[in-house]
């Protein structure tokens, strides 16, 4: 499926991402938050992570959000812009703070993992159609959203409903379910996420979160519950991912799908934080390039592998040539490939060594 955004709109970019970005404090050593003596500052936020990875991979990207007029807001805007993301549509709120959070060094999947969010009442939680740049939101070939934004407030949910509603010549809408049970104020979260996903063109969901939110088990059951999106990507963690795609653009919802599964790469994992966002970025990058389903999934896995081999949310992505070479491997080579820390820069270093007399 290729994007059919408003190509005649002024200042069109490849992707626009809407969402809350926060300053994240990463521990300098393992242990409980109560025991860690110091933290290093970084940035985090599902949608801005996707924006940064796409920009680093050579796409034109715009991030739309709200931050406070505090120093944390300054840092976020500057740090995201440093990746090459257009932040001109970011609004500043003098009455509300920028969100921050602290986390432990362990994997999110472990019982020892802790996250402490300080985002209640943040500038981003007040986003609505009157205080964000709606023109900027509709200026991309792809508009990337996530379920996290819908959970922040009723105003944010109203904005998400408008952006996922049918509209003539709207951008291709990408939606990452990102179910975070702790963010929802009531039990309606799963139903709301399902409704929003039904309004999107491309949907990303993990089989674990579909089971937790909707009681669905297996990729086929998820597709049966979500027939509306033209493209549905079901992620199975370290096992791989499946994409369901209607064979013909504009085909009816009951038209037969093409179904493609690609195994995940073997990776020496440093931390799992940011891997899902990186996967979405890789898949969208390949979608913008009109690559076939197998290669879109492989580019998703490659971007996820870059994130898995660093401690923070964001990693240096492989160059496009490097990623294309790996994505073109035959099945046996792909399934035996193993990637460790620094793999994305290895080719660059080797090329520099060759050029050095």
For residue 236 the two structure tokens come to: 């199975």
Q: CA-to-CA distance for 154 and 162, rounded, in angstroms?
A: 12
**β-strand pairing of 22-27 with 240-246:** unpaired
Give dist(CA 127, CA 17) in Å, integer.
14
Question: Cα–Cα distances in Å, from 342 out to 108, 123, 189?
Answer: 22, 36, 38
Q: How far, in Å, CA of 142 to CA of 51, rounded? A: 11
Q: Which phi and psi angles does 293 have, rounded to 5°?
A: -55, -45
- Say if residues 291 and 324 touch (Cβ distance below 8 Å): no
Q: What contacts 53, CB < 8 A, 6 or more positions away?
A: 277, 278, 281, 282, 303, 307, 314, 317
Residues taking part in catalysis: 277
Half-sphere exposure of 132 (CA within 13 A, CB side): 29
Q: Would you mind telling me the total number of residues written for the chain in this entry?
A: 357
The span from the CA of 56 to the CA of 319, in Å, is 9
Which two structure tokens, joined as six digits, stand for 90? 């970011």
In what helix (H) or strand (E) does residue 355 lie, and over which residues does it extend? helix 343-355
3-class secondary-structure state, position 25: strand
- Position of tokens 């035959």? 330
Closest CA relative to residue 294, chosen from 343, 242, 340, 344: 242
202 to each of 39, 86, 146, 291, how far by Cα in Å? 36, 23, 11, 15
CA distance 98 to 254: 44
């Amino acid at each position: 499926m290729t994007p059919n955004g408003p190509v005649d709109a002024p200042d069109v970019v490849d992707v626009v991402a809407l969402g809350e970005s926060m300053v994240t404090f990463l521990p300098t050593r393992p242990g409980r938050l109560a025991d860690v003596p110091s933290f290093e500052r970084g940035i985090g936020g599902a949608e801005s992570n996707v924006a940064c990875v796409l920009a680093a991979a050579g796409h034109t990207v715009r991030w739309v959000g709200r931050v406070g007029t505090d120093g944390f807001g300054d840092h976020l805007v500057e740090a995201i812009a440093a990746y090459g993301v257009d932040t001109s549509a970011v609004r500043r709120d003098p009455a509300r703070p920028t969100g921050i959070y602290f986390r432990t060094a362990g994997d999110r999947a472990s019982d020892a993992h802790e996250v402490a969010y300080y985002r209640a009442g943040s500038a981003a939680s007040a986003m609505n159609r009157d205080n964000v740049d709606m023109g900027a939101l509709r200026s991309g070939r792809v508009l990337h959203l996530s379920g996290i934004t819908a959970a922040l407030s009723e105003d944010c949910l109203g904005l998400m409903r408008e952006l996922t509603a049918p509209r003539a010549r709207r951008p291709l809408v990408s939606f990452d379910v990102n179910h975070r049970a702790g963010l929802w104020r009531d039990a309606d979260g799963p139903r709301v996420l399902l409704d929003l996903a039904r309004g999107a063109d491309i949907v990303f969901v993990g089989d674990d979160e579909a089971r937790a939110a909707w009681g669905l088990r297996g990729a086929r059951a998820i597709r049966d519950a979500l027939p509306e999106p033209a493209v549905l990507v079901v992620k199975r963690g370290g096992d791989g991912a499946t994409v369901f795609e209607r064979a013909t653009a504009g085909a009816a919802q009951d038209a037969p799908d093409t179904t493609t599964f690609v195994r995940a790469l073997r990776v020496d994992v440093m931390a799992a934080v940011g891997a899902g966002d990186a996967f979405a970025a890789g898949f969208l990058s390949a979608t913008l390039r009109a690559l076939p389903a197998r290669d879109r999934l492989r580019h998703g896995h490659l971007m996820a592998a870059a994130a898995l081999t660093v401690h923070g949310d964001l990693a240096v992505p492989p160059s496009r040539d490097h990623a294309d070479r790996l994505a073109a491997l035959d099945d046996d080579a792909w399934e035996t490939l193993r990637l460790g820390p620094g793999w994305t820069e290895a080719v660059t270093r080797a090329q520099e060594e060759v050029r050095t007399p």
